[in-house]
Amino acid sequence: MIHKPIYKPKARAVEYGDLAINIYRGCPHGCNYCYAPGILRMSRADFSNVSLRPDIVESVKRQLERERITGKLIHLCFTCDPYPADFDTTPTREAIRAIKESGNNVQILTKGGKQAERDFDLLTPADWFGVTFTSDALFEPHEYEPNAAPSGERLVVLERAKRHGMKTWVSCEPVFDPQAVYSLIQCGWYIDLFRIGKMNHQPSVINWAEFAEKCIELCVINKRAYYIKEDLRAEIYKCYEGSV
């Protein structure tokens, strides 16, 4: 039994919401930039063998009732994907149902693609459905995300979520190709919020301050709501400090 599966995010994760749940341990998507194995002190090989956290759904229900949690936006998930490839994700559906029935809402972030559509019937305009967008490799898995759904599939599902009535968002992080992000801002009419970051923990030749300013410019021109993540904002500040 997990005593408190619902927790308050810390550090960079605070930018995402009130509370969070990690339903699974590990992820099969094989993203080479993933920070979760380090946080969980697991090798990448062990992390790729996803498993359900013991008694997770019942633990969530008990905590929701015991602490009378209500009116919160609960993020799914940080150290795993709520829709891991080739895995039974019924517990995700059960967790969403428990969250909704207790008077809370969910904020989903996934690279799982079309399998997430199964749970659209549980979601309402008070919920947020989001995908991670890292490249314009639309129809084939990206080499950095070999087992995740292709970006094109994720965006199709995101558009369907919008048509279903949910609020939609995209996490542009890590960024491998600035032009792909620029293009998405210009054509992403179905995206209610762009959360834009950078590349962390790996070297890059991208001028991040210029990237951030171009994203802001395009969001303003195209009337897109946006949030520049803390690490990327810091690059803008450094640029201005250096010019003084």
Per-residue pLDDT reduced to its tens digit, 97-123: 999 999 999 999 999 999 999 999 999
User: What Cα–Cα distance (Å) separates residue 140 from each residue in 6, 136, 165, 209?
Assistant: 35, 10, 28, 30
Q: What is the pLDDT of residue 200?
A: 79
Q: Which of 78, 147, 144, 153 is nearest to 115 (CA)?
A: 153
User: What Cα–Cα distance (Å) separates residue 142 from each residue in 75, 135, 214?
Assistant: 25, 8, 24
Between 40 and 169, the more confident residue is 169
Domains of the chain: 11-172 (3.20.20.70)
Q: What is the pTM of this model?
A: 0.92
Per-residue pLDDT reduced to its tens digit, 223-237: 999 999 999 999 887
Over 80: is that where the pLDDT of 17 sits?
no
**CA–CA distance, 139 with 153 (Å, rounded to integer):** 7
Per-residue pLDDT reduced to its tens digit, 59-92: 999 999 999 999 999 999 999 999 999 999 999 9
Strands (E), the chain: 19-21, 24-25, 51-52, 73-76, 105-110, 128-132, 167-172, 193-196, 226-228
**CA–CA distance, 86 with 178 (Å, rounded to integer):** 31
Name 43's Cβ contacts closer than 8 Å, sequence gap at least 6.
37
Residue 84 contacts residue 27 (beta carbons within 8 Å): yes
Share of the chain above pLDDT 90, in %: 79
Amino acid at 38: G
Q: Look up residue 7 and give its two tokens.
A: 């927790």
